[in-house]
Amino acid sequence: MSDYTTLLQQSPDPETAAIRLDQLLQDVTARRYLAKMPSGSMPTFIHLISISNFLFRYFCRHPGVIVSLYGPNAMERDKFDGISDSSTLRTFKYQELLKITWMDLAEKFSYPVILDRLSHLADNVIIKAMHLAAADKQYPGCEHSKIPFCIFAMGKLGANELNYSSDIDLIFVARNYSEFNSGALDYLGGVIDHVRRFNALMQEVSEDGFLYRVDLKLRPWGRSGPLVISIDETEHYYEASTEAWERFAWLRARILSGGDRKLGEDLLGRLEPFIYLRSLGSDDLERFIRIKNDMARQRRRNENWNVKMGEGGIRDIEFFIQILQIVNAHTHPVLKSTNTLMVLENLVKLGFVSREDGSDINDSYLFLRRLENRLQMVDEQQTHLLPDDIRLRRKIACSLGFGGSSDEQTVERFDRQLEKHRQVAKSCFKRILPKES
| Amino acid present at 416 | R
Q: What is the CATH number of domain 282-432?
A: 1.20.120.330
Tens digit of pLDDT per residue, the chain (437 long)?
Answer: 557 889 999 999 999 999 999 999 999 999 999 999 999 999 999 999 999 999 999 999 999 999 989 866 666 666 666 788 999 999 999 999 999 999 999 998 999 999 999 999 999 999 999 999 987 666 655 655 668 899 999 999 999 999 999 899 999 999 998 877 766 777 888 889 999 999 999 999 999 899 999 999 999 999 999 999 999 999 999 999 878 889 999 999 999 998 899 999 999 999 999 999 876 666 777 878 888 788 777 776 666 789 998 999 999 999 999 999 999 999 999 999 999 999 999 999 999 999 999 999 999 999 999 999 999 999 999 999 999 999 999 999 999 999 988 999 999 999 999 999 999 999 998 888 765 44
Q: Which one-letter DSSP state was computed for residue 110?
A: -
CA-to-CA dists, residue 157 to 78, 91, 116, 228, angstroms: 20, 21, 9, 19
Domain boundaries, the chain: 109-275, 282-432
Helix or strand run (H / E) with residue 375: helix 355-377
Contact 333, 155 (CB under 8 A): no
Give pLDDT, residue 437: 42
For every residue of 237-279, DSSP letters joined together read: HHHH---HHHHHHHTT-EEPTTS-HHHHHHHHHHHHHHHS-SS
CATH fold of 109-275 reads Beta Polymerase; domain 2 (3.30.460)
